[in-house]
Structure 1
Amino acid sequence: MKTLSQRLDEYLALRRSMGFDLSFDERVLRKFTNYGDENGFDRISTPLFLDWKGNYGSADNNTWSRRLGMVRRFAFWLAEHDDRTEVPSSQLVIARYRRRVPYIYAPTQIANIVAEAGRLPSPYGLRAALWQTLFGLIAVTGMRVSEALSLDRQDVDLDRAVLTLRNTKNGKDRQLPVIGDTVAQLAHYAELRDRLVAKQASRFFIKEDGEPAGDCGARYNFAQVSRNIGLRSPQAYNRHGLGPRIHDLRHTFAVHTILDWFRDGRDIEAEMYKLSTYLGHSEPKHTFWYIEAVPELMQLAAERAERRVLEGAS
């Protein structure tokens, strides 16, 4: 009989063949199946999930709700192969969704992040070039971390200065233009990559061993850079710690773009629909949320609304 970890290998291989990026899910589910295998569980069940939850470490209900969702999706698939499988109820963990207030980086902080990433140590220097290029790319394009990591070589057209994002969060492909400085940095990284690594994966961003750069590596190296420049406190045992996230680079791009529109006197509503498409949001409301979440944007919106009322009354 196959172990839970062996079943997980099959599940991940199937979903990846369908185009899903499962680097984060794998990290969680691998710990779940390893715990089950090591503690005598040969099938997924409610007792297994609750036992794992009780011994896995502290986290809030929102986090455990997401983990439960990952386990349930795995269990639904496994039930087709092992009729002993019990899909844990979605009511085991009740979450209250509260969208996290974004951290908006100052331009100097972004510059410091990119510069510090360029100082990360490695035998041949590819680690520094990899993460410096990736962090900078996210900051200037606002793409998701998963979208940047999923870029294949064919998706990076340096001659036309266009990136093609495929199999995105909402299942739609889209293209993003990049400017001269970004093209030059991408070309520099690609040249160094091709010179240093003989056997390479098809992905654009790869590590020194030739394997694709992943979500865990991105978050680990971003946390290390953030600690080095004082954005996060020092941590023991290679823990990430708390503080601004790599995803906040995307939020910062969106907020600075909207701020520029306000200052230029543009039609914000019309521009926001364009930004929603650019960012790959499923609905415009996810883009308009930035105005509510960032006090400076809310103040600018209120001032503009007040001016319109006064102009209408005069």
Structure 2
Amino acid sequence: MKSLIASLHDYINVRKSLGYKLTEQERYLKSFVKFLKKKNCQYVTVKLATEWATLPRDAKLATWSQRLSIVRLFARYRIASDPRTEVPPPYLLSQQPNRVTPYIYSEQEIQKLLKACQLLPSKGLRCHTYFTFFGLIAVTGCRINELISLNRNDFDEKNGWIIIRNSKCDKSRLLPLHQTTIQQLKKYAKIRDRFPVQDGNAFFLSDRGMRITEWSTRYVFIQISKKIGLRNMIDSHGPRIHDIRHRFAILTLLNWYHEGADINKKIILLSTYLGHKKPTDTYWYVTGTPELLAQATAKLEKNIGE
């Protein structure tokens, strides 16, 4: 196992290789590692991280929060190589809500979700709609509202793509699809077109022939999540639809790492495909996922060795 200081150097180098400027963060983390050494501790603990973060006793909460968040990111990286590491929880010293920790679905869980959709009680399109809807998120990483807003003519069967219009960042984008996805969308479109339609523009329709809503989609997702055991029957929180998008991004990046691809070039493609405003938004999937940081570290070490 690498020492804490060696791991810190790797972490800084990895993040710099991804385009981050870490002057202040590097200074803070070196200070934190020295602090741990003085305390005769060889791994990150929540207690010592909090103690170090609040060392400027007269500082504002915002400063404490910033210092702890810097340690938190490093701890997420370090835990992949040292399981003793404790990651400070997001709410600790927080002055505002933190980004929700994503749930990474297994392939088996995705298949269970889709199978549960096929078993939904339905008078017409409901089971077909949600099977195709959640499956499309899984293979494209689209946002829920992007697919709810999808129109019938946004699916180009001939060329095998869908058009996402006026997304979160007020940009439209064209998404090429895998052949199996194209075939499933064709199959759904054929079934959809046979049913009485109240909203002829919408691609994804309810049993009543209307465009599905965000509320109904989330309701269906919660119900099937409980049926397959992703949530307890009384849980008000749990794995989200948006986490399926996160899974798509993570798997794409991991596959590229395994292939030895140049991530700095590839991530621009992924950022465009996901509809992110800038590539740094996509880099979060790397910094927020220990396995990806470990992959990035391994690749960096290989480059240094060569």
User: What does residue range 1-314 of structure 1 map to in structure 2 within 5 Å?
Assistant: 96-124=96-124, 126-235=125-234, 241-311=236-306
Q: Is the 8 A contact 2:271 2:282 kept in 1?
A: yes
Q: Distance in 2 between matches of 1:245 and 1:122?
A: 23
Q: Is the 8 A contact 2:128 2:188 kept in 1?
A: yes
- State the shift of 1:309 in Å: 2.6
Q: Distance in 2 between matches of 1:187 and 1:200?
A: 19
Q: Distance in 2 between matches of 1:264 and 1:116?
A: 34
Aligned residues: 213
Q: Is the 8 A contact 1:167 1:173 kept in 2?
A: yes
Q: Distance in 2 between matches of 1:101 and 1:272?
A: 21
Identity %: 41
Instruction: Name which structure has the greater RCO, CA cutoff 8 Å, separation 6+.
Output: 2
Q: Distance in 1 between matches of 2:152 and 2:298?
A: 46
Q: Unpaired runs of 5+ in structure 2? A: 1-93
- State the shift of 1:200 in Å: 3.2
Q: Is the 8 A contact 1:197 1:208 kept in 2?
A: no
Q: Distance in 2 between matches of 1:277 and 1:242?
A: 30
Relative to the length of structure 1, the TM-score reads: 0.65
Aligned-residue Cα RMSD (Å) equals 1.5
Q: Distance in 1 between matches of 2:200 and 2:221?
A: 23
Q: Unpaired runs of 5+ in structure 1? A: 1-93
Instruction: Tell me the SS of whatever aligns to 1:164.
Output: strand
Q: Which amino acid aligns with 2:108?
A: T
- State the shift of 1:214 in Å: 0.9
Q: Distance in 1 between matches of 2:123 and 2:202?
A: 21
Q: Is the 8 A contact 2:152 2:200 kept in 1?
A: no
Q: Is the 8 A contact 1:116 1:225 kept in 2?
A: yes
Instruction: Tell me the SS of whatever aligns to 2:189.
Output: helix
Q: Is the 8 A contact 2:154 2:163 kept in 1?
A: yes
Instruction: Tell me the SS of whatever aligns to 1:123.
Output: coil
Q: Is the 8 A contact 2:286 2:292 kept in 1?
A: yes
